[in-house]
Amino acid sequence: MTPSQKINIGLLGYGTVGSNVYGLLESQAGEIEKATGASISISRIMVRDPSLPRAGAPSELFTGNFDDILSDAGISIIVELIGGVEPAFDYVTAALEQGKAVITANKQLLSRQGFYLFRLAQDKKTQIRFEASVAGAIPVIKVLRESMVAAGLKSIYGIVNGTTNFILTEMSRTGVRYEDALARAQEWGYAEADPGEDISGKDAAAKMAILASIAFHTSVGLEDVTCAGIENVSRRDIAYARELGLTVKLLGVARLYDDRINVRVYPALIKQDHPLASVSGAYNAVFLKGAAIDEIMLSGPGAGGTETASAVVSDIISAVARRESPGFLEYPVAYRNLDFFPDEEVVSTFYLRLEVEDEPGVLAAIASAFGKHGVSIESVIQKGRGARAELVMVFHPVKESRFAAAIKEAGGLEVVKSTPRPIRVEGSHDDGQ
């Protein structure tokens, strides 16, 4: 073996993940050197206020000035952990322009500027790696980029947001309301004080944009992902779904329809014996389906300081192991420009709970509204009587545009007393994908 080479890293941000990255590089230095032939260390850390005392790294490493890192020719890799689009975009761009490799965990940045940054890295013959941007410690980016090239991938779906999965698991497990489950998630550190990005599905949408880009080799931005959150999932729906053998999960779904793609995030009901149903708490799971591989699942912790740090460090190690020749990363991530398959044309199975007048002829009126649009009911159960009467319905697979028209018509009936909020049922039919 050639004598050990020294690799210096500039770290941007020193929060939970950053300090764990520092710690892992120190504690695993021996293993890392044996795997890469290099001695890797963080030689500079940029933080907003370098004068504050910090645990872990010696104080002389800290700086408040990005140029101290950018202009340091001894630093060949920059790890960006500050998050958000600005100023991260400027820093990452400047680093790539100089030919420095970039490791980032920044899903906001990549879901908006990924296509540009991937191209820039290729032009500058350097690397941008982003394992930690999706699904924490689960190595889904490496698997997609390096192990699935010939798998003929047709769809990727799964649970990519731990906060909402924790909340839905709590609601299912204890029967509490959404608001109480959210409060518990905040108390236990699984949800931030402002949980908007998670709850609304936007965090999951950013991750699905990244996964779909990599899997289908096309540019998918955050704006291309239709997204619904979990705010309207009621505990009544959870209880009724359970009686039907179903459980609620916030799913990200990216599917190829011939040469068009559709990428969405929505709460969905899945069968209780489906492997996704046993993904509980803040765990994530991603399914990959393809012509040559049938179905592969990767699951594990979707967040956490050491878990995310482990993904960042695995990227650092991969970057160093391929410092002479970046291998896969020499060639474009996104080399084609697929059109999008419209949501309205997707064929889905729906569950629907409707509060209705408890009087003769109600079901006939509702069934006729759906029938008029060619939407056929698979099962219907009446729950409660009198003022609290509800119909719990599951429909046969139907084109979403038709279902939307039927819902509009049914929702307008005088006997219907609630706003219809259908939930998709996944895994019951395969839609040919």
- Binding string, 327-366, against a second copy, x = CB under 8 A? xx-xxx--x-------------------------------
Contact segment (CB under 8 A) with a second copy among 28-36, 165-173, 232-240, 361-369 equals 28-36
User: Looking at 60, 294, 337, 387, which residue binds a second copy (CB under 8 A)?
Assistant: 294
SS3 label, residue 222: helix
- CB 7, CB 35: distance < 8 Å: no
SS3 label, residue 194: coil
Distance separating alpha carbons of residues 78 and 84, to the nearest angstrom: 16
Q: Which is nearer to a second copy, 174 or 382 (CB)?
A: 174
Q: Which is nearer to a second copy, 147 or 418 (CB)?
A: 147
The H or E element that residue 226 is part of is strand 226-227
Contact segment (CB under 8 A) with a second copy among 31-39, 78-86, 238-246, 370-378 equals 31-39
- Binding string, 249-288, against a second copy, x = CB under 8 A? ------------------------x-x--x----------
User: Looking at 113, 127, 318, 348, which residue binds a second copy (CB under 8 A)?
Assistant: 318
- CB 155, CB 256: distance < 8 Å: yes
Contact segment (CB under 8 A) with a second copy among 163-171, 195-203, 305-313, 417-425 equals 305-313
CA distances from 330 to 78, 142, 146, 147, 323 (A): 18, 15, 13, 16, 12
SS3 label, residue 331: coil
Is there binding between residue 1 and a second copy (CB under 8 A)?
A: yes
Is there binding between residue 433 and a second copy (CB under 8 A)?
A: no
190-222 burial code (b ≥16 CB/10 A, e <16): bbeeebebbbbbbbbbbbbbbbbbbbbbbbbbb
Compute the least distance from the CB of residue 351 to a second copy, in Å. 22
Q: Which is nearer to a second copy, 314 or 349 (CB)?
A: 314
Is there binding between residue 309 and a second copy (CB under 8 A)?
A: yes
Q: Which is nearer to a second copy, 17 or 70 (CB)?
A: 17
DSSP state of 356: B
Q: Which residue shows structure tokens 């906001």?
A: 108
- Residue 358 neighbours by CB distance under 10 Å: 15
Compute the least distance from the CB of residue 36 to a second copy, in Å. 7
Residue closest to 142 by CA, chosen among 335, 310, 20, 339: 310
399 tagged catalytic:
no
Question: Can you point out the beta strands (E) in 272-408?
Answer: 283-290, 294-301, 339-340, 347-355, 377-383, 390-395, 398-399
Q: Which is nearer to a second copy, 298 or 365 (CB)?
A: 298
Helix (H) and strand (E) counts in the chain: 14, 18
Question: Can you point out the beta strands (E) in 13-108?
Answer: 38-46, 62-63, 75-80, 101-104
Compute the least distance from the CB of residue 184 to a second copy, in Å. 20
Is there binding between residue 129 and a second copy (CB under 8 A)?
A: no
Distance separating alpha carbons of residues 250 and 175, to the nearest angstrom: 17
Compute the least distance from the CB of residue 61 to a second copy, in Å. 20
Distance separating alpha carbons of residues 402 and 98, to the nearest angstrom: 53
- Binding string, 34-73, against a second copy, x = CB under 8 A? xxxx------------------------------------
Is there binding between residue 387 and a second copy (CB under 8 A)?
A: no
User: Looking at 85, 94, 321, 415, which residue binds a second copy (CB under 8 A)?
Assistant: 321
**Residues tagged active-site:** 207
Binding positions for a second copy, rule: CB under 8 A: 1, 24-25, 27-28, 31-32, 34-37, 131, 137-139, 142-143, 146-152, 217, 273, 275, 278, 290-301, 304, 306-307, 309-311, 313-314, 317-318, 321-322, 324-325, 327-328, 330-332, 335
